[in-house]
Amino acid sequence: MSLHADLKATFTAKGAEAFTVDAAFDVERGESLAILGPSGSGKTLLLEAIAGFHDHDGTVTLDGRRLDDRPPEQRGFGFVFQDYALFPHLSVRENVEYGVRYHHETRDSDELLAELGVADLADRYPPTLSGGEKQRVALARALTVRPDVMLLDEPLAALDVPTRRTLRDDLADVLADVTSVYVTHDRTTARAIADRIVVMRDGRVVQISTPDEIFQRPASPMVAEFTGSNAIPLSAAPSLEDALGRDGPSDGYVAIRPESVAIGGSTGDVSGIVDRVVREDATTRVTVSFDEVAIDAFTDDPPTVGETVQLTFPRAELHRC
């Protein structure tokens, strides 16, 4: 099933100003699309509007069929909430089977629980489950109605790192052939799960592309920084403008991934002072400042804080943004 969303939705929370989302995108059959952006960018509001939880202008279509006037239970979507939204007074099996009454074609609940590795929890109740177990049950509940499209709202956000990593791998397998829209602020999750990524800011889409394109060729300094790249003002490193060619604004930016920055040696594009050295798993992140700009680089041979070092930016890894 292919999904098309072109809508404008305004939501006013109690005691808060109105927030408007104005966005459009398509999801192809079997594609996993991640909506990535900082907190408050409108990701969840957009997903809930698509699901039918909020009134909206514009259109939501599934294989060309308009869904705008249909209630959520008639849109053919499976929804996985960030807070799981399991009924505490129902058993795991009863939670998974809750939506069956509204659908003709459904999957066997025990079979689904077994596929997700939680078959032994069928007779237990949500308050007795861990976060990872609750999320697997919530996923089973969404899948049991054989949805045309899966909508997932930051389902891994509340989990500890090891559980998140395990469930992220499982989700990638579960969503491999499922048309899905996945909201997250975690760039690692988006990169691992998505076939394409929509980046949002202030209720609007600022870039849509493949993960490689988003991470390697960000459309703006905001996208670069949010996805973990350095965004360097060309005014602070004029030699980079010469290398890139003067076909862009002199007050623009250039993006480069931290793993592409070379640190050390006797010469480089710029010299700077080491501000911070932080160990990260199998490598070390070094933050270097120059001309009021802070640059991150990864290295296996870290300098010391306060040391003056050379930074080199491989030309093939640079991208105007």
Q: Where are the domains of the chain?
A: 3-221, 231-320
- Does residue 248 surpass a pLDDT of 60? no
For residue range 18-27, what is the model confidence (pLDDT) as tens digits?
Answer: 889 999 999 9
Look at residue 178 in the predicted model and tell me its pLDDT: 87
- Mean residue pLDDT of the chain comes to 89
CATH architecture of 3-221: 3-Layer(aba) Sandwich (3.40)
User: What is the rounded CA–CA span in Å between residue 120 and residue 110?
Assistant: 9
State how far the alpha carbon of 190 is from the alpha carbons of 36, 147, 185, 186, 255, in Å.
7, 21, 8, 6, 20
Residues facing residue 298 across a β-bridge:
285
With 80 as the cut, is the pLDDT of residue 85 above it?
yes
Residue 259's CB is within 10 A of a number of other CB atoms, namely: 14
* Neighbouring C-alpha atoms within 13 Å toward the C-beta of 53: 13
Angle, in degrees to the nearest 10, between helices 161-174 and 131-143: 20
Best CATH choice for the domain 231-320 from the list 2.40.50.140, 2.40.50.100, 2.30.30.110, 1.10.10.10: 2.40.50.140
Is the pLDDT at 194 greater than 80? The verdict is: yes
Which stretch, 78-82, 162-166, 183-187, 238-242, has highest mean pLDDT? 183-187
Residue 128 pLDDT: 95
Element (H, E) at 170: helix 161-174
CB-neighbour burial class of residue 58 (10 A; exposed 0-12, middle 13-18, buried 19+): middle
Rounded to two decimals, what is the model's pTM?
Answer: 0.90
What is each CA distance from 91 to 3, 95, 134, in whole angstroms? 33, 6, 12
